[in-house]
Structure formats: structure tokens, C-alpha cells
Amino acid sequence: MSVQELEKEQEPQHVGLGPVGWLRWAWRTLTSMKTALILLFLLALGSVPGSLVPQRGVDPDKVARLYQQNPTLAEWYDRFQLFEVFTSVWFAAIYLLLFTSLIGCIVPRLLVYARELRRKPPAAPKRLSRLPHTASFDGDLGVEEVARRLRKLRFRVVTGDGWVSAEKGLLRETGNLVFHIALLGILLAIGAGSLYGYRGNVLVVEGDGFANTVAAYDRFIPGSQVSAESLEPFSFTLDKFDVAYQVTGDKRGQALDYEAHLKVNDSPQAPARDYTLKVNDPLEINGTQTYLIGNGYAPVFKVVDGKGQVAFDGPVPCLIEDKGSMTSGCVVKVPDAQPGQLGFLLQFLPTSVPMTDGTYRSAFPGELNPQVQLLGAFTGDLGLRSGEPQSVYTLAEPEVLKKLKPLLMGKDVPKPLAVGQSVDLPDGLGKLEFTGVKQWITLQTAYDPGRLPALLAAAAAVLGIALSLMIRRRRVFVRVGGGRVDVGGLTRTEGSAAGFAEEFAEIVQVLSAGEKNVR
Amino acid sequence: MSAEQLAELSDLFVVAAVLLYVVAMIAFATELAFGRARPGKAVAKADARQPVAVGAGGAPAVSESEPAPAPAGAEPPRFAAQAGRVALVLAWLGWAANFGAIVTRGLSVDRWPWGNMYEFVVAISFAAVSAFLITQIRHNIRFLGGFVMVTAALGLGLASKIFYTAAGPVVPALDSYWIAIHVTAAIIASGLFTLAGVTGVLYLLRGDGLSRLPSREDLERVAHRAIVFSFPLWTFAVIAGALWADRAWGRYWGWDPKEVWSFITWVAYAAYLHAKATAGWKGRASTIVQLVAFGCLLFNLVGVNIFISGLHSYADVD
Ligand code: HEM
């Protein structure tokens, strides 16, 4: 059935048919090609804000910043779910309507298709000269011979009294249906993945380990059907992390390669094995993938308090402030220090160089001359016991910070410390020692059972659309008799008339000369 | 040759390609300006030729359009046709220089030469010219030549002036065989979409009357053919991108801005194909849809790289 015909059938009926009539009208309108077209436009239009407004799932920090900078605007964005466009109600409404429309259009077309599969090509028209492509030549071909030659060209052939009718290209419709059904398949696979899959992020410092449990993640986003026990029970430790940097030329300082050397236990019983995790090459354990997605520095500090006790000793993951030089901001909180809690703000410089104004900067992202610049040391209640969640990257909320007593700040801070150096706090409150440098990596673990189905459906879609667009449906009619052969042909595929002219000429050639003489 | 020399050679090739494209454009324009004018609608060969029913029902067959008979008027001067031939030769030379630029760049950096915006635009210009020249082998679409040449020359010019990035390595995320699969498909599809876009603009510029451009039907057909080839390729490119994202970022689809705009582009071209199959949307309306889709493609290529930051921020433009 042709599109135009489908549409004619789907013209709205007379109104006043009662509820059933209205329902029918609604269904026909929804499944008409014009509605599909409009819904396609809406889908494209609806995606636009998803790229212009920061998305919670992609960049939560940016969303938070917008709330700070422009709360009114952020409120309005939130009202229209613009921070979660792709999971919003209105976006779902568009694509669910589109897919309903798609189903409503696939089903009748499948029926038509099934009928067409079985139906024979129609009889040849009386006057072939009315067809868009025609040719005649003298010859004494019989109907059977014509049919044989056309079958050789993979036409479906019907013969009658003095005529042959042949058809080819049903694969076009096949491809089109496969494509549209595959689109449904992709949607279902994505849906299944989001119900039964999960995603988690975790930061691991060199020397530390990770076990795949919900509690071990810094951020865990499960599908609604995921239970905590279903996580694949693997674990690993990060032995060492290596980065190679470009050292010369314009791109000096650009990362060239990342390698995380892991010791992996595929299950609690399994023996440990070495594994090198790289970008573009996740660690896969039973369908659960672990990806290397970020890295940074974790200088190691030792804090001795006013009573001479070691109150803190360990690596502190620092937040990258400048990607090019890997200058990083660090926060050390020492709630166990006596007599008062201690807090430090520092800056880590992987390759520290002095500037003319007496300050220090990092000149290279690699660890060539690692130093930490103390920015401030404080004592007082850090507010850690309030029960509120705390960020490890900020010392304290502004109101808490105001109540802290600065020990060292501004001009009092010493020059940057090299590994092994320390700074003494005034009033015998203790000292901070910079004892070494480690690195951290961030990992993403993902389990998505919809991956493979989605891939298969996507492959089917590509194949289907290629068939649908490349193949043309064409018919060839032949009438023989009286020493003449008349051939007529037509294609019903949009825009392929020019290409068909050549094919038609070839067919005529085969008919007039026999397939042996062609090609 | 050292990497630096190869990189310099590549830059020279780009300059040569721009010059050749510009001269070819002038030659194409000469042919078009002094060539023969054609009426706005393809003249049907015979009015008696009615569409014949095929298939289950009665879709009108697309009737074959013959070159329209020349309207009464002067024969075009001989040099017009000669200019056309010269233009083609120049275009092929420019194409070769463009190709040389890509190959030498690739050799100089020892990786696939489409790791940043500069390299990407150079490659798309090449793909657009290739699409034109290869189609031209079998079908006469010389009338498009001047416009394709302008587009390619502008593309290369913009690339060298604004997006230029010195030859160098790429970040580790781009160091993958997927770049060969995903980006190559995207480049070829973009080249064909560009051809369709140029044709679409001509369609809108051309009135219904006598013009030196081919009939609107012919223009529409060229654009449709190009999109029929590029749409499956683009579909494939997007899916290959998803596969790569699955390897690199741990999810195959995450609505990153680049992904969003690839999707929008894809939906917009699907809308074009639907428009072509919808009564009342053929011709002008579907051409506008096509150009909107092309706009989305360009925005994805240029706008997203420059204005929006995301995981895909590899363009290396400041
Ligand atoms: C997710 C949304 C959809 C996409 C991406 C899509 C894509 C396509 C593509 C690329 C074609 C090929 C056009 C051609 O043959 O020239 C096509 C054809 C078609 N689509 Fe869709 N489609 C979608 C939804 C729908 C829906 C909802 C309907 C039903 C109302 C529909 C009905 C059709 C029909 C009837 C054709 C045949 C056109 C022809 O044979 O020329 N499509 N579709």
C-alpha cells in the first residue's frame, strides 16, 4: 500500500460518530504520517534545551552553580524539568506518542506487507506505451523465454497470454519495517537497561582498594529493579597509576597515556591477577564494566598536634583547579587534634616554579618538582559532628569558617613545602608535614543488561534503513507477439527514476540479446 | 621527511587546494553564466503519459525527466562548455591537493588525521568535493560545481584561519581505533549532507521561471539522492559513536551535548525523509526541512564545539 493511500484512509472521518468514532479518529490522526512528522519535529526541538541547560545527570556541579548565581532562573528551569530534559514528563510524552504512532503505523503496514509477499504481480497493462519507461525491438521471444530471463535477474514473474509481468524490490519494504521495529527495540533495550542496570562512581588513591558493594561507591545510581546483593562481587587494589605527558612542542603538558595498574580479584575466592586499566579499554567482569574516567593528585600529609600525637597521616585527594598544570586545591581536616581541631587549606603544585612576584606556580602537569603551598591554617570547631553531610573538598561552610581562628594566613604562610618539609604552627599547636605524593583515579562502574539488545537493534536499524533507502521497487511488463517485443517499466520509489532508466536499459538489453551477451 | 616538514607540506597543500577550488569556482561560474537557461519545471515528455498504478494501490510513478528542450534563444557560446571542462580538471586538482593535505597531516602526526576541529573541517570539505566529483562521473551535475567549490574553499579557509591547530598528538580518549570508524562515517555523511544542503539552497534561490540552473525537480532529486546515501551512514556514525562511548565513558548514550545534537540532526533528516513521503510536504517544504537539518549538522560541528562544553570537547579551539 502506498503512503498516499495510507493517508487517504487515515483522513479524519465525519465527526458525530459517537465515542467509538472519536476514538477511531484519534487513533488515525495519531498514526498518520503527518502526526509522525510533527512529533519528530517536537522530539528534535525538545532535545535542544537538553544541550543548552546543564543537566543534573551530566553535570550536577553546573546545576548547583546556576542555583547559586541565578536562583529565580534555576527555579523556573526546574519547574519545567529543564535540568532533566531526557527523563522529564514532557519529553517522555513526546517519545511515547511518537512510538505509539510508530506502532500504529507498523501494524497495518505489516499486514499489507504479509499480503504483498503472497500476492503475484498484476497483469501487464494493455498499452505499455503509457508507462514512463518503454522500449520495443523486433524479435521472436516466447513468453516463457522472457520469463526465464527476467527470473535470472531475480524478478518475481507472472505470465499470461502474450504478456509477462515482473516485480522486484520488496526488500525495500522489508528494510523499512525492520528499521521502524528496530527503533522500538532500541527504546525497549534502553528502558530495560535503566530498570535493571546501575552506575557507580568511586575515587581510589594509589595503594587503596575497592570492593564492588553499594557502600563502597561515592555515588551510586541504581535502576529501580536493582538489589544491593546483585552486584558482581569483584574487588581490586590500585597499585600504581602512570601518566605520560608530551614534553616538547606546542602541546607540551598534554596527557598522552594513562595506565592504572590494578590487582583484581574476580570474586572473593578467585586469585588476584594483574590488570592494566586504560582509557577506551574498560575492565570487564561478568558484564560489569569498570572505566577509568579521571585522575589527580593526593599529597600525603602528617599532622602532629599540640600534645605531640600524630592526629592525621595519609593521602588527601585534591581537586584539580587547573587542568593544564594540574594545580590542585587540597583540604586537610584534623578533627582529632588536641587541644583544638585543626584545618588546612593548601595548593598542590606538581611542578613548582617561582614567579618574579615571589609566588609559585605549576609549570607542568607531571610530578617534576612537587610542592604544596599552605594557604591557611585554622583551629576551632570544624562542624564535622553536626551530622550534616560534608564535602571533603571544602574546609567548612562559610558560617562555620567565620568562627574558626586563623593560625597562619596571608603574609605569614611560608614558602611552598617540598616532600619531607614541614611547617610549625604558632603557639605550639603542632605541625604539618608534607611526606609524599600519591595519585588518585576516578572510576565508573556500569552494569547495563540492555547494552547487547540495544546494539543488536541498532545494527538491525542500520541494515534496515540502508535496504529501505537503497533498494527501489520496480515493475517490468513485456508483451510479445507478431515478431515484436514491447517492454515497459516503472519504479515507484521517490527520486530513483534517473537510476532506473539505466537499469531499464540493461533489462531491455538482456531481453533483446540474452543474458550471455550482457556484461 | 620529518614530522615538521610533513606538517608544513600539509599546510601548503591546504593553501593550494583553496586556490584551486577558487579558480575552479570561477570556471564553473563562467559555464553557468553563459550556458543555457532552463525552464522551472521539467517538461514532461508527453502529456499522455499518465502515472500507472503499481503495487497494491496507486502511487503515482515518478516520471522520468528528460533534459528539457532548449527554449528559443541563442546557442550558448563555445567557451562556456570549455570552461566547464577546465573547471572539472581544476576541481580534481584541488581535490588531489586536499587529499594530499590530509595524508601528509596523518603521516606527520602518525594517527588518523581527524582529531580536532581543524582536521575535521578539512576532511569534510574533502568529502563534500569527493561526493560532488564522484557523482559527476555518472550524472551531469556540473551546475553544482561552483557552489560546492565555494563551500569547500570557505570550509578550508575557515579551518586554516580560525580553527587552525598545529600538528600534534591527541588526548588519550581519542587514541582509539573507533576514531577511524566513527569519525570517518561522520565525515563522509557530512560531505554528502553538504552536497544536499548546497543543492537545497539553490532550490530555494531558483524561481519557477527560466534560469540557468536545472529545474527544481532535478535539484530536489540530487538532494534526495545525496541524503538517501548519507542518512544510513549518519545512523551508522551515531551508533558507532555510541559504541565508542560505551568503551570510553562507561555508557553508550549519556545526552552529552554532542550526542544531543547528533540525535537532533538525525531526527531532522528522518523528518525530511518523512516529509518527502507525505502529501503536501514535498518540494519547498521538504527542502526547508532539509536545510533546517543541515543547520543542525553545522551547529553540531561548529557551535557545540565552541559554545558548549562537554565530554566531547576535543575540538582544540580556544
Ligand atoms: C522514531 C521515529 C521515526 C523515524 C526515525 C523514522 C524514520 C523513517 C525513515 C528514515 C523512513 C524512510 C523514508 C523513505 O523511504 O524515503 C521512514 C519511512 C516511513 N516512515 Fe518512519 N520513522 C519514524 C517514525 C514513524 C512513525 C511514527 C510512522 C507512522 C506514522 C512512520 C511512518 C513511515 C512510513 C509510512 C514510511 C514510508 C515512506 C516511504 O516508503 O517513502 N515513521 N521512516
- pLDDT, one tens digit per residue, over A84-140 is 888 889 988 998 898 888 888 888 889 988 888 888 888 888 888 888 888 888 888
- Determine whether the interchain pair B61/A279 forms a contact, defined as Cβ–Cβ distance below 8 Å: no
Q: Is the CB of B282 under 6 A from ligand 1?
A: no
Mean pLDDT, residues A286-290 taken together: 89
Per-residue pLDDT at A211 exceeds 70: yes
Residue A205 belongs to some domain of the structure: yes
Ligand 1 atom nearest to B277, measured from its CA: 41
Residue A84: DSSP 8-state: G
Chain A contacts of B171, Cβ < 8 Å?
254-255
- Could you tell which of A4, A27, A33 is best to mutate to test the pocket of ligand 1, judged by most ligand atoms within 8 Å of the CB? A33
Same-domain pairing of A438 and A343: yes
Chain B neighbors of A461, CB-CB under 8 A: 235, 239
Decide if B46 touches A, using CB distance below 8 A: no
CA pair distance A296, A243, nearest whole angstrom:
10
A338 and A233 within one domain? yes
Is B4 in CB contact (< 8 Å) with chain A?
no
Does residue A1 lie in a domain region?
no
User: How many separate domains does chain A show?
Assistant: 3
Supply the pTM of this predicted model: 0.80
Q: B278 — contact with chain A (CB < 8 Å)?
A: yes
B74 within a domain of the structure (yes/no): no
Q: Which residues of chain B are modeled with pLDDT < 50?
A: 42-73, 315-318
Please tell me the predicted confidence (pLDDT) of residue B201: 92
**CB distance from B110 to chain A under 8 Å?**
no
Which residue's alpha carbon is at the smallest distance from atom 5 of ligand 1?
B270
Question: For residue B24, which of B126, B92, B108 has the smallest C-alpha distance?
Answer: B92
Q: Is residue B28 part of a domain?
A: yes
**Ligand 1 midpoint to CA A502 (Å):** 28
Q: Which residue of B has its CA nearest to A254?
A: B171
In a domain, residue A190? The reply is no
Helix residue spans in B164-256 (DSSP H): 178, 184-205, 216-248
Give the model's pLDDT for residue B313.
Answer: 54
Supply the pLDDT for residue B239: 93
| B275 Cα to chain A: minimum distance (Å) | 7
| Same-domain pairing of A434 and A497 | no
Q: Is the CB of A36 under 6 A from ligand 1?
A: yes
Whether residues A50 and A68 fall in one domain: yes
Give B177 or A392, the one with higher predicted confidence: B177
- Asked if B255 lies within 8 A of A86 by C-beta distance, the reply is yes
Q: How far is B189 from chain A (nearest CA, A)?
A: 13
CA angle A30, A35, A38 (to 5 degrees): 145
User: Are A358 and A384 found together in one domain?
Assistant: yes
Cβ atoms within 10 Å, residue B133: 17
Say how many C-beta atoms besides its own lie within 10 A of residue A227's C-beta.
Answer: 8
| pLDDT of B311 | 59
Measured between CA atoms, the residue of chain A closest to residue B263 is A44
pLDDT of A389 above 70: no
Task: Extract the C-alpha cell encoding A99.
Answer: 512510538
Residues A281 and A368 in one domain: yes
- State the smallest CA–CA distance between residue B281 and chain A in angstroms: 9
**How confident is the prediction for chain A on average, in pLDDT?**
85
Bridge partners, A244 (sequence order)? A257
Question: Distances from the Cα of A315 to the Cαs of A333, A433, B66, in angstroms?
Answer: 12, 12, 78
Ligand 1 centroid to residue A150 C-alpha, Å: 31
Average pLDDT on A245-272 reads 86
SS3 annotation, A103-166: HHHHHHHHHHHHHHHHCCCCCCCCCHHHCCEEEEEECCCCHHHHHHHHHHCCCEEEECCCEEEE
Residues A244 and A337 in one domain: yes
- CA–CA gap between residue A259 and residue A378 (Å, rounded): 37
For the CA of B276, the closest atom of ligand 1 is 16
Tell me, what's the ipTM? 0.79
Q: How far apart are CA A75 and CA A73, in angstroms?
A: 5
Q: Tell me how far apart the alpha carbons of residues A376 and B239 are, in angstroms, rounded to a whole number.
A: 50
Is the pLDDT reported for residue A386 higher than 70?
A: no
Is residue B107 in a domain? yes
Say yes or no: CB of residue A10 within 6 Å of ligand 1. Answer: no
Are the CB atoms for A506 and A479 separated by under 8 Å?
no
The CATH number linked to A496 is: 3.30.310.50
Q: What is the pLDDT of residue B54?
A: 34
- pLDDT range class, residue A387, cuts 50, 70, 90: low
* H helices, E strands: number in chain A: 11, 24
Residues A383 and A427 reside in one and the same domain: yes
Question: How many CB pairs below 8 Å do chains A and B form together?
Answer: 211
Residue-level pLDDT at B161:
84
Residue A184 lies in a domain: no
Sort A152 into a burial class: Cβ within 10 Å, 0-12 / 13-18 / 19+.
Answer: exposed
What's the domain count of chain B?
1
Instruction: List the beta bridge partners of residue A257.
Output: A244
CB atoms within 10 A of CB B144: 24
Selected residue of A198, A217, A469 to mutate for chain B interface (largest B Cβ count, 10 A): A469
Q: What is the mean pLDDT of residues A35-59?
A: 84
In a domain, A186, yes or no: no
Residue A236 lies in a domain: yes
Q: What pLDDT is recorded for position B65? A: 39
Task: State the residue range of the domain holding A348.
Answer: 198-447
Q: At residue A382, does pLDDT exceed 90?
A: no
- Find the domain containing B293 and state its range: 3-41+80-307
In a domain, A46, yes or no: yes
pLDDT the model gives residue B312 = 58
One-letter identity of residue B24: A
Q: What is the pLDDT of residue A369?
A: 92
Rounded percentage of chain A residues whose pLDDT exceeds 90: 23
Residues A496 and A404 placed together within one structural domain of the fold? no
Report yes or no on A85 lying in a domain: yes
Task: Tell me, yes or no, whether B294 lies in a domain.
Answer: yes
Q: Which of A63, A78, A111 is the last residue of a domain?
A: A111
In tens, the pLDDT along A460-498 reads: 999 999 998 888 888 899 988 878 888 998 887 655 555
Q: Say yes or no to pLDDT of A209 above 70.
A: yes
Indicate the pLDDT class of residue A8, thresholds 50, 70 and 90: very low
